Structure 1
Amino acid sequence: MSNRLDTTEAAKVLIKELAEKHGDLMFYQAGGCCEGTQPQCFEKGTFFPRTNDAMIGLVEGFEFWVDRDLFEYWQHAHFTLDVLDGFGPGGFSLESPLGKTFKVHYRLFDEQELKQLAPVIRNQ
């Protein structure tokens, strides 16, 4: 199976720090403007995906959800979650007070990967 999501080492370190402070986490990548253009990290249970949003994989054991409309556009792309120094738009994500912001790098799947893609989970 080809996975849809990977995480950089820098993001793994920050996720571990956030989980130690906040407990279980979840990630959400919206397709809107402002804070929705970057992945957001929340305490699990404080943000709820919409009907038909797609859970494309786990980030260090935590769900990574993508807005249903954004997923339709990016369904043929691999996501790599990274982190940068700086203040992301909106500031609602848990890493914002630390002067960090999550970012996704995208690349298109090759033909072999497309044939072996892991299924997504849809929110009901």
Structure 2
Amino acid sequence: MIKRLDATEKAVDLILELKEAHGELMFYQAGGCCEGTQPQCFEKGGYFPRMNDVMIGEILGAEFWVDRDLFEYWQYSHFTLDVLDGFGVGGFSLETPLGKTFKIHYRLFTEEELKELEPIRLME
């Protein structure tokens, strides 16, 4: 099966650091407005996905949820979680006090990959 989500080494290192400080984690990527479209990292259970939001995968056990409307737009894309220095839009995200921000790099799946994608999970 083809994964919908991967992470760079820098993102993995930061997730490990955040897990050590905060315990189990989760990610949520909203569709815009106040929180922007950058992924935000929370303690597991610190954010409640809405009905029909989509879980596209996990990184080190941290579920990665995407806003249902954003997923409709990006469903044919692979997400790679990365991290940048600086303050992003998500002031509530756990990496913010460290002067970091998570970012997604997108690429379209190939026709062959689309036939073998891992299933998604909808919030019910």
> Do the structures match in fold with TM over 0.5?
yes
Give the gaps of 5 or more residues in structure 2.
Answer: none
SS in 2 for 1:116: coil
Task: Say if 2:38 and 2:90, in contact at 8 Å, map to a contact too.
Answer: no
Shift of 1:60: 1.3
Among the aligned pairs, what percent are the same residue?
A: 74
Matches within 5 A, 1:16-95: 16-95=16-95
SS in 1 for 2:36: helix
Q: Counterparts of 1:33 and 1:81 in 2: how far apart (Å)?
A: 21
Shift of 1:33: 2.3
Shift of 1:45: 1.1
Give the gaps of 5 or more residues in structure 1.
Answer: none
RMSD: 0.8
**TM-score normalised by length of structure 1:** 0.98
SS in 1 for 2:94: coil
SS in 2 for 1:91: coil
Task: Say if 1:18 and 1:95, in contact at 8 Å, map to a contact too.
Answer: yes
2:101 corresponds to which residue?
A: 101
Q: Counterparts of 2:100 and 2:35 in 1: how far apart (Å)?
A: 14
Post-superposition Cα deviations, 1:86-116, rounded to whole Å, max 9, x if no partner, equal 0011311000000000000000000100000
